[in-house]
Amino acid sequence: MSAQHGEVTPGRAHEPERPERSESPEPLEQPGILHLDMDAFFASVEVRDAPELAGLPVVVGGDGRRGVVAAASYPARERGIRSAMPMATARRLAPDLVIVPPRIGVYREISAQVMGILGDVVADVEQISVDEAFLDVRPARRLFGPPERIGALLRERIRSELGLPSSVGGSVSRAVAKIASARAKPDGMLIVPAARTAEFLAPLPVSVISGVGPRAVQGLERLGVRTIGQLRELPPAALSRVLGPQAPHVARLADGTDRTGLGRRVRDRSLGTERTWDEDLVDPVDIRRRITVMADEVARQLRAGGFVARTVTLKLRGPDGTTLTRSSTLAQPTSSGERLREHVVALWERERAGMPRVRLAGVRASHLEPAGTAGRQAELVGRTTGWTDLEAAMDRARDRFGSGSLSRGSTLPGAAPAPTPPPPGPDESPNALEFP
Ligand SMILES: [Mg+2]
């Protein structure tokens, strides 16, 4: 996978190709939108929970006479089986088809876990279905690095914590990020540098653009247009005749100038961190220290993203899986580590008797607001005067010394991108996918 996104990331791969400009060089525009999509979600969950099904054509759906395929594993897709296909057709295509009845409750729970991981790393998550979301990664860059690093981190966490494959596309445009994640599947990542957006899209069929339906595809075909590159060459009037009011947006998309970001359905913003330990923590001093470190880390994420939080939540899990979640609402929203620490320690003091052994702990800040003037004034009149300023100064120092001095938790990969398991398909492995 590193080879794959090494081909397309803007930093090293693209910089040497930039036209030389001696005066006022344009800052290199980094892709700010990621689209993360689980691969064959329901089917992957079923294969995860029944490993003997790996490599088999597995579909999730009803097997009655009118049953329909809800999800198909990649081996099933290789036989031509698709979602929404009648089960009878799928059975004809693969006589050895394995049909698993859906477990909606399980999928819903895993979906929430996926979104929780996304929310841990990125404050702005727009969930668009049970298994996909758009993320605005611009505020997270200061803490986690460039978009391909954030995408690798998310994929690796979903893989290691949930045992499931996912794919990520990245772009300056929401629509292009979604197209890129589809091209990266299965189990891959494709980040399209801003300056190469049009080039990336040019060879793709016009049908990959959401909003260009079968009728528009036919209309364009009559004009001799099959690819997005050909669409670019159409005079605007001709494009409008085929696409109607959609035409200007599609034209911007095709020439790489679309910058549409997240929609309005941004879920309640939250961010946080979580750790699981191989051995139970039993020493109260140790537990207390670890949750204060997490509170500091969350506060740093808040400041890096320019947020203050109104609610802080402590999550603890014991060795038997019992999970306890307690929240505290702050009188004033804050990004101060000192304030968050006070609250999580108080929550822990209250609950520690009932949770003497800790296997997992997490701290999460939610009900985030931009750290605007109101929050700042509240901070200054509050009893933690000075803390946020001091902590912001520490953040700046940390930035100046580079990310190496930033203490990294177990959830962050090292400098190298996260490893990817062996490719699933015989012919087109994710590693083989390269930006043209
Ligand atoms: Mg999906």
CA-based torsion, 377, 381, 383, 385: positive or negative: positive
Please compute the mean of the pLDDT values over residues 225-246 and round it to a whole number.
94
Point out the least confidently predicted range of 29-38, 40-49, 183-192, 415-424: 415-424
Cβ atoms within 10 Å of 84's Cβ, excluding its own:
9
Task: Find residue 170's DSSP bridge partners.
Answer: 34, 191
Point out the least confidently predicted range of 41-50, 51-60, 126-135, 367-376: 367-376
What's the gap in Å between 166 CA and the centre of ligand 1? 8
> pLDDT-based confidence at 372, cuts 50/70/90?
low
Q: CB-based contacts of 45: which residues, under 8 Å, 6+ apart?
A: 103, 106, 107, 110, 164
User: Residues 335, 371: contact at Cβ < 8 Å?
Assistant: yes
pLDDT surpassing 70 at residue 15? no
Q: Is 131 annotated as a binding residue?
A: yes
What's the gap in Å between 335 CA and the centre of ligand 1? 35
What's the gap in Å between 223 CA and the centre of ligand 1? 33
User: Look-up: residue for tokens 């990959």?
Assistant: 208
Per-residue model confidence as pLDDT tens digits over 161-219: 999 999 999 999 999 999 999 999 999 999 999 999 999 999 999 999 987 888 999 99
What's the gap in Å between 132 CA and the centre of ligand 1? 6
Q: What is the pLDDT of residue 421?
A: 37
Please compute the mean of the pLDDT values over residues 360-388 and round it to a whole number.
59
Q: What is the pLDDT of residue 199?
A: 95
Q: What is the pLDDT of residue 261?
A: 84
Nearest Cα to Cα of residue 381 among 343, 334, 345, 346? 334
> pLDDT-based confidence at 25, cuts 50/70/90?
very low
Q: Which residues are annotated as catalytic? A: 132
**Continuous segment of H or E residues that includes residue 71:** strand 69-72
The model carries a pTM of 0.58
Hey, what domains does the chain have and what are their CATH numbers? 41-104 (3.40.1170.60), 199-254 (1.10.150.20), 270-405 (3.30.1490.100)
**Continuous segment of H or E residues that includes residue 284:** helix 284-305
Per-residue model confidence as pLDDT tens digits over 234-244: 999 999 999 98
Q: What is the pLDDT of residue 422?
A: 36
User: Residues 424, 187: contact at Cβ < 8 Å?
Assistant: yes
> pLDDT-based confidence at 322, cuts 50/70/90?
confident
User: Residues 430, 420: contact at Cβ < 8 Å?
Assistant: yes
C-alpha angle 64-65-71 in degrees, rounded to nearest 5: 60
Task: Spell out the alpha helix ranges (H) of 96-173.
Answer: 104-121, 141-144, 147-157
Please compute the mean of the pLDDT values over residues 414-432 and round it to a whole number.
33
Q: How much is the mean pLDDT over the chain?
A: 80
Q: What is the pLDDT of residue 225?
A: 96
Q: CB-based contacts of 279: which residues, under 8 Å, 6+ apart?
A: none
User: Look-up: residue for tokens 């100046």?
Assistant: 400
What's the gap in Å between 16 CA and the centre of ligand 1? 35
Please compute the mean of the pLDDT values over residues 48-59 and round it to a whole number.
97
- Residue 24 vs residue 258, higher pLDDT: 258
C-alpha angle 297-372-332 in degrees, rounded to nearest 5: 65
Q: Is 37 annotated as a binding residue?
A: yes
Task: Report the SS3 class of residue 279.
Answer: strand
Distances (CA, A) of 215 to 121, 205, 212, 243: 40, 14, 8, 9
User: Residues 172, 35: contact at Cβ < 8 Å?
Assistant: no
Nearest Cα to Cα of residue 42 among 31, 33, 53? 53
Q: What is the pLDDT of residue 12?
A: 34
Per-residue model confidence as pLDDT tens digits over 86-113: 999 999 999 999 999 999 888 888 988 8
Q: What is the pLDDT of residue 14?
A: 37
Structure tokens at 185: 């599947």
User: Residues 15, 9: contact at Cβ < 8 Å?
Assistant: no
As a whole number of angstroms, the distance between CA 76 and CA 395 comes to: 50
Point out the least confidently predicted range of 63-72, 252-261, 354-363, 382-391: 382-391
Task: Report the SS3 class of residue 36.
Answer: strand
Distances (CA, A) of 187 to 48, 136, 166, 183: 15, 21, 5, 10
